[in-house]
Homo-oligomer: A and B are copies of this chain.
Amino acid sequence: MKLKPLYDRVVVKKIELETATPGGIILPDSAKEESQFAEVVAVGEGKLLNNGQIVPLKVKEGQKVLISKYAGSDVEINGEEYTILKEEDILAIVED
């Protein structure tokens, strides 16, 4: 079973991230109270504008992102928990 989000919605899976320093120490990256790391699992076809145009989303499947912590709705599929939110609630893409 698979979720195919509509329009500008995105399915993500919440994750924890950490960073290795050059000296080899592992620092936990910490999304503060208002934010949360996540991985993009599926993206909608695009945002429906007032003029009827569909604008494709910027985020891609597999990208790591930082999202607004309380944005979106949770769902459990095949024993895994996912969050569905609008792309505008994604704050940034996290690059290595």
Using a CB–CB cutoff of 8 Å, the interface residues on chain A facing chain B are: 1-7, 9, 11, 17, 19, 21, 27, 29-35, 42, 45, 47-53, 55, 58-59, 66, 68-69, 73-79, 81, 84, 87-88, 90-96
Contact = CB atoms under 8 A, between A and B. Distances in A.
A61 to B, nearest CB: 14
Contact of A73 (B9, B45, B49, B68): B68
Nearest to A3: B92
> So how many copies of this chain end up in the complex?
7
Main secondary structure of the interface of A (DSSP, over half): strand
Contact of A75 (B3, B66, B75): B66
A92 B6 contact: yes
Contact of A6 (B31, B55, B59, B84): B59
Given A52-B49, A92-B3, A96-B1, A79 B32 contact: no
